[in-house]
Each structure stands twice: as C-alpha cells, then as structure tokens.
Amino acid sequence: MDLPVAPPAFDATGDPGPHRHADRGADIGAGCGLVFLELTALVVIFGLWWRSGFDLDPASTVTADPLWNYLIAAGAVGAVALVAAVIAARAGAVVTVVTQGLMAALVCLIVVGGAAGQSHEDQRCREIPTAPGCRNSD
C-alpha cells in the first residue's frame, strides 16, 4: 500500500537569514581592530592639521591650514566605517555592526562640527580680513 508523501518541512538551518551569526570572538576582534585603525587614522589626519599651524619660532606668526581638506579625509574614514558596518550586518557580526555604526556617527559629528567651525572662521575672515587667525592678516 502506497501512502501519500508530505512535502519536506521548512528547514532554516542552511538559510542565510536572521539566525546566522558570525563567531563572537572574531566579531569582537574585528570590531575592536577596525575602531583602533579608524581612531588612528583620525588622530593622524587631525594631527597633520594641528601640525600645519605649529611652529617653534616665537617670532613667526603661523596660522593653521583651512580644515576643509582634513574634513574630507575624516569623512572618508566615516564612509569606510559605514561600509564596514553594512558588510558586517550581512555577515551577522553584531558587535562589528554596532562599533562601526557608532564610529560612523562619531565621524559624522566631527565633520559637521568642524565644517560649522571652519565656515564661521571663513565668514569672519571675509568680514574682517585682518582678524587674528586669518591668512590675509600678514
């Protein structure tokens, strides 16, 4: 006697859905490593900006470079963090997604704040070209 065969039940073990997670140790390591590299990049970028306005000669007047190019470089670091967060989300690496999301938000705040400050300084130098800190004051 032949009995009817039921179709196989849904099996989610091989599906790359929400139940798939990356190895937690590798996830934590990747998240911490990326944050370290991104913070190092930001320190180098803004260290170079600080260095542009630093001189050991007390008789010279040095003004720092405009912040715009350095903000673009910092924005690139934020874009890398955002891409890393998206890739980590697809891999199921929750810790890396959170750390990279926070890093992208931090860089966004730095870029917006720096742009506002530089815009204010540029406006001040347009109104009063001889103001301290303006390149036209020499």
pLDDT tens for residues 117-135?
A: 999 999 988 888 887 777 7
Q: Span 98-119, mean pLDDT?
A: 96
Residues with Cβ within 8 Å of 1's Cβ and at least 6 positions away in sequence, in order, are: none
- Report the b/e string of 99-116 with b at 16+ CB within 10 A: bbbebbebbeebbeebee
pLDDT tens for residues 30-71?
A: 999 999 999 999 999 999 999 988 888 888 877 888 999 999
Q: What is the DSSP string of 2-59?
A: PPPPPPPPP--SS--STT----HHHHHHHHHHHHHHHHHHHHHHHHHHHHHT--S-TT
- Nearest-angstrom CA–CA distance, 82 and 97: 9
